[in-house]
Amino acid sequence: MKFFGVRGSCPCSSDTYRRYGGNTSCVVVEPDDGHPIIVDLGTGLRPLGQEWAASYGRSGPPEITALLTHLHWDHLIGLPFFTPIQQPGATMTLYGPPQEGGGLQAAIDRVVQPPFFPVEVKELHGGIDFHEVADDDLAVGSAKIRVRLVPHLGTTLGFRIEADGVSVAYVSDHQAPHDLAGIDPGVLDLCDGADLVIHDAQYTGPEFAAKEAWGHSTAAYAVHVAAQAGARRLALFHHDPAHGDDEIDRLVEEAGRLPAAARLDAVVGAAEGLTLELGPH
Task: Report the distance separating Cα 273 and Cα 51, nearest Å.
Answer: 11
Judge whether 4 and 27 are in contact, CB under 8 Å. Answer: yes
The upper half-sphere exposure of residue 87, i.e. CA atoms within 13 Å in the direction of its Cβ, equals: 19
Q: How many CB atoms lie within 10 A of CB 179?
A: 6
Give the model's pLDDT for residue 105.
96
pLDDT band at 196 (very low <50, low <70, confident <90, very high): very high
**C-beta pairs of 14-23 under 8 Å, 24+ apart in sequence:** 16/244, 16/245, 17/244, 17/245, 18/245, 19/245, 19/271, 20/239, 20/245, 20/248, 20/269, 20/270, 20/271, 20/272, 21/271, 21/272, 21/273, 22/272, 23/47, 23/78, 23/272
Task: Report the distance separating Cα 21 and Cα 81, nearest Å.
Answer: 18
Question: Going along 87-218, which residue ranges are E strands?
Answer: 91-96, 127-132, 137-140, 143-149, 157-163, 166-171, 196-200
Give the model's pLDDT for residue 96.
98
3-state SS class at 92: strand
Task: Report the distance separating Cα 243 and Cα 115, nearest Å.
Answer: 31
Cis ω on the peptide bond leading into residue 36 (within 30° of 0)?
A: no
Judge whether 31 and 143 are in contact, CB under 8 Å. Answer: yes
pLDDT of 101 over the 90 cut: no
pLDDT digits (tens, 9 = 90+) for 198-254: 999 999 999 999 999 999 999 999 999 999 999 999 999 999 999 999 999 999 999
Nearest-Å Rg of the Cα atoms of the chain is 18
* Biggest distance spanned by C-alpha atoms of the chain: 53
Give the model's pLDDT for residue 179.
96
Give the CATH class of 2-269.
Answer: alpha beta
pLDDT of 277 over the 90 cut: yes
Question: Going along the chain, which residue ranges are E strands?
Answer: 2-5, 26-29, 37-39, 64-67, 91-96, 127-132, 137-140, 143-149, 157-163, 166-171, 196-200, 233-237, 266-269
Which residues 6+ apart lie within 8 Å of 248 measured at CB? 20, 236, 239, 269
Which residue ranges make up each domain of the chain?
A: 2-269
The upper half-sphere exposure of residue 154, i.e. CA atoms within 13 Å in the direction of its Cβ, equals: 14
Average pLDDT over residues 106-131: 95
| pTM of full prediction above 0.85 | yes
Average pLDDT over residues 31-49: 96
Of 71, 56, 64, the C-alpha closest to 25 is 71
Average pLDDT over residues 190-202: 98
